[in-house]
Structure formats: structure tokens, C-alpha cells
Chains A and B, each alone.
Chain A
Amino acid sequence: MRKSHTLNLGTGTFVLLGFAALFFLTTQTTSRGISFASPPHYDLTAKFDNIGDLKVGAPVSMSGVEMGRVTKIDFDSKEYKAVVTMRLDARYDKIPTDSDAAIYTQGLLGGKFIGLTAGGAETYLKGGDQIDFTQSAFVLENLIGQVLANFTKSTAPSDSGKTDAPPAAEAKPSEKTK
């Protein structure tokens, strides 16, 4: 009797641990997560021209302090813009209405996050409000495209003219137009 008791206990503990581990893997390490506690919070939205690879769950921070997370990403088919809904902790309820939201990259190749910069207004954003001033994600391909365009513009005349002076003269106006 004694032996079968320890046997049952050991088997039970093992099977319980195993299924707890499977549950943890499927819910806590994937985006299908179930969050058990939801502290007081409020939602804000912002419209961006381009959100790059911003994902649901990305952090929202101000001055580097994490204040909340992105909870939903929608598409506005009238304005052709991405509508990002973010959930902010209720502790941070003093965000001026003219604050702006920009999408930044963590590290060189890291994920995207939203950085808020405080404005100067006396009124504060409430749940459901929209942040009007936004700055799109920095898309590497666009930047490379611009650099390439400038590069070809400034090198093309040097191939035909075969002198060093004209390219320098050509390059300057193109810098001014930027």
C-alpha cells in the first residue's frame, strides 16, 4: 500500500508537470497568450502612413520607459493608413493631447516599438483619444532607394564629362533640394 502510494504520487506529479509545461509552451511563449491579470489601463489610437513591421504586443514607451503595448493594428481604407491601438497603463494618464507618436527600431535589426514624445498642452489624453501627430516607421528600402537615386544623379555626369569639377557642382543643388 505504501509503495503504491509513492508510485501514484510520483506518476501524478510527473504527468501534471508535463502537461503544465505543454500549457506554458502553447500559451505563454506564443502570441495566443492568455494574460491572467489585467491592471487598470486605457486605450489610445494613432494613424500612421507606414508602420513597417510593427507587431501586436510591441512596447509603447515615453523617454524610454515602457508605458503600454500595442493591442491592435487595423487598416483605414478611406485614408489608406494603419490604425494602431495601444493600451497604456492607467498610472501614466498625464500625456498631453499634442504629444506625438513615432515608430522606432530596437537595436539595428530588432523589432519596432512606438515612442511617444510629450507635447506642451495643458489637457491630457483620455481613453479612446487619437494621437494626431505621428511619424512613420523608418523603412530601410526607401532610404536605400533615396541614397541610390542621389548617387546615380551625382555620378552620371562624371561618366560623360570626364572632368572632376562638374559632378561637384551637380551634387550641390541636389543636396539643397532635399
Chain B
Amino acid sequence: MNLIRELWQSLVEALVGLGAIVRFLLRVIAQSPRALLRLDLIAQQIYNSGALSLVIIMLSGLFVGMVLGLQGFQLLQRFGSEEALGTAATIGLVKELGPVVTALLFAGRAGTALASELGLMRATDQLSAMEMMAVDPIRRVVVPRFLGGVIAMPLLAAIFSVIGIYGAQLVGVQLMGVDSGSFWSQMRASVGLSDINEGIVKSCIFGVACSLIAVYEGYYATPTAEGVGRATTRTVVTSAVVVLFLDYLITAAFL
């Protein structure tokens, strides 16, 4: 009986959390047009969550692509069709690995930074101070961070995919001896614009999800040192689960 009550309790809590985050999203969207007038703030946040994530994204992309080249080569060699490596690597990267791995890295690198920054602002009463000065903290602090993340994420995913394709090319063509011409021509013949579109749509949606979770957790963090730490952890955990769940939904919708 106790167990059922606890389950019911946690279900209600989950629903309350979902409702709160959706209402927060609506508030952020409502403030977005006016925040767009301060483009310098958004540019600053694109720098923080995009340009500063560049190194980790490029390195990860290179290694993911190289592993894909190696594994893909080993697998395709069994069927005697190593030439399809370019197609396999590109489709894998553009449609799945690019958006998903970038989103996970983005949550770890930029999402945690956003959440802890906002959480610390909450803990040191900076957000309340802004409210006292009649500055809406959502418009001044939250929306630029949210929009910066939303803009940065698709660009990061595209960079990840391109570096990954070159990583696969490096291993497949340079090390394993797949013909360079077949690698690129088969890729061009079988990768369509719809595959690229799917990747772009995915990365945009993941960008909204990751940025929203990060600013939400940070904005409503318990104003203590422990609360900020917990908000950062929850950002990564929730983002990872939500990204993988959304990934399944979007893939199913595109098929």
C-alpha cells in the first residue's frame, strides 16, 4: 500500500515537473522577440556554448568517425562491399551519431556551465536583485543563453559530422585501402538531401531540449551550494535521457 502511494506520489511529481518546464518554455518563447533586440547578449552566449565547445566537438567527431571507419570496414569486408564504407559512415554520422553525440557532449560541456552559472546567480541572489531593479531576469539572462544554445547546437552537429566523415575517410581510405573514388562517389550516389535534413531537424530539436533543460534546472536550482551541484547533475542526466527518447521519436517520424 505504501509502495503504491509512493509510486503515485512520484508520478504526480514527474507531471508537475513536466508542466513547470513547459510553462517555462512558453515564458522563454514569449520573451524571445524582445530579447532578439539585444543581439550582443546572444552573440556572447553563442561564443560561450558554441565556440568554447568547438575543441571537444571536433576531437570527439574525429575519433567517432575513425572508429566508424574501422568498424564499418571490418563489417563491410565480410560482405565484400568495402566501397560502401563512405555511405555507411556518412549516413550513420549525419542522421544519428552527429546530432546525438553532439547533444550529449553539449549537455556535458555547455549545459552544465549554463545550469551552474544560473544556479549560482540564484544562490547569490543576483536574479532577485535584477527583479528589484525592474529588469526581467528571464529576458536579460535566461533567453540569451537559451537562444545561444539553440543556434549553436545545429552548427556544432554539422561540424561534428563533417570532421567525422573525414575521420572515417582517414581510416578507410588511407589506412585500410578503400578506393577513394568509390568512397566519395557511392556516398554522393546514395546520401540524399532528406538524410541531411533529418540530421538538421534532429540537432535543432536537441538544441532546444538541451538548452531548455539547462536553463530551467539552473533557474530553479535550490539556492545552496548543494542545490547548484544537484542542478548540474540533473541537467546532464535529464538531457541525456530526453535526447535519446526524442531521437527515437524523430527517427520513427522520418521513416
Contact surface of A with B, Cβ cutoff 8 Å:
7-8, 10-11, 13-15, 17-19, 21-22, 24-26, 28-33, 55-59, 66, 69, 106-111
**CB atoms of B80 and A14 under 8 A apart:** no
> How many cross-chain pairs have Cβ atoms below 8 Å apart between A and B?
112
> Are A14 and B155 CB-contacts (below 8 A) given A29-B90, A30-B188?
yes
**CB atoms of A21 and B161 under 8 A apart:** yes
**CB atoms of A30 and B192 under 8 A apart:** yes
For A32, list chain B residues within 8 Å (CB): 193
**CB atoms of A15 and B161 under 8 A apart:** no
For B193, list chain A residues within 8 Å (CB): 26, 30, 32
Question: Which of A14, A19, A69 has a CB less than 8 Å from the CB of B185?
Answer: A69
A10 to B50, CA, bound (A): 9
**CB atoms of B51 and A111 under 8 A apart:** no
For B90, list chain A residues within 8 Å (CB): 29
**CB atoms of B186 and A11 under 8 A apart:** no
A–B Cβ pairs within 8 angstroms, 11 of them: A18-B154, A19-B155, A22-B154, A25-B161, A29-B90, A30-B188, A31-B191, A106-B83, A110-B182, A110-B186, A111-B185
For B24, list chain A residues within 8 Å (CB): none
Shortest beta-carbon distance, B69 to chain A, in Å? 15
A15 to B45, CA, bound (A): 12
- Least CB separation from B61: chain A residue: A21
Interface assignment of B82: CB less than 8 Å from any CB of chain A = yes
**CB atoms of A107 and B161 under 8 A apart:** no
**CB atoms of B162 and A21 under 8 A apart:** yes
- Least CB separation from A14: chain B residue: B51
Nearest 6 pairs of A and B residues by beta carbon: A18-B155, A14-B51, A21-B158, A10-B51, A108-B80, A107-B80
For A66, list chain B residues within 8 Å (CB): 181
Question: Which of A13, A25, A55, A107 has a CB less than 8 Å from the CB of B83?
Answer: A107
- Least CB separation from A111: chain B residue: B186
A15 to B152, CA, bound (A): 8
**CB atoms of A29 and B185 under 8 A apart:** no
B 186-224 contacts with A by CB, 8 A:
186-189, 191-193, 195-196, 199-200
Shortest beta-carbon distance, A143 to chain B, in Å? 17
Interface assignment of B10: CB less than 8 Å from any CB of chain A = no
For B189, list chain A residues within 8 Å (CB): 31, 55-58, 111
Interface assignment of B110: CB less than 8 Å from any CB of chain A = no
For A24, list chain B residues within 8 Å (CB): 162
Tally chain B residues at the interface, Cβ within 8 Å.
39
**CB atoms of A111 and B182 under 8 A apart:** yes
B 150-176 contacts with A by CB, 8 A:
152, 154-156, 158-159, 161-162, 165
Question: Which of B47, B51, B84 has a CB less than 8 Å from the CB of A110?
Answer: B84
> Are A29 and B165 CB-contacts (below 8 A) given A13-B51, A21-B159?
yes
Interface assignment of B81: CB less than 8 Å from any CB of chain A = yes
- Least CB separation from A24: chain B residue: B162
Question: Which of A17, A31, A107, A110 has a CB less than 8 Å from the CB of B159?
Answer: A17
Interface assignment of B246: CB less than 8 Å from any CB of chain A = no
Interface assignment of B35: CB less than 8 Å from any CB of chain A = no
> Are A18 and B156 CB-contacts (below 8 A) given A11-B43, A59-B181?
yes
Shortest beta-carbon distance, B48 to chain A, in Å? 9
For B186, list chain A residues within 8 Å (CB): 110-111
A14 to B181, CA, bound (A): 30
For A7, list chain B residues within 8 Å (CB): 43-44, 47
Task: Name 16 extra pairs, CB < 8 A, besides A14-B51, A109-B80.
Answer: A7-B47, A8-B43, A14-B46, A15-B50, A15-B155, A18-B159, A22-B200, A25-B158, A25-B162, A26-B193, A31-B192, A33-B188, A56-B189, A110-B81, A111-B83, A111-B185
For A33, list chain B residues within 8 Å (CB): 188
A106 to B94, CA, bound (A): 25
Interface assignment of B29: CB less than 8 Å from any CB of chain A = no
> Are A26 and B196 CB-contacts (below 8 A) given A14-B54, A21-B158?
yes
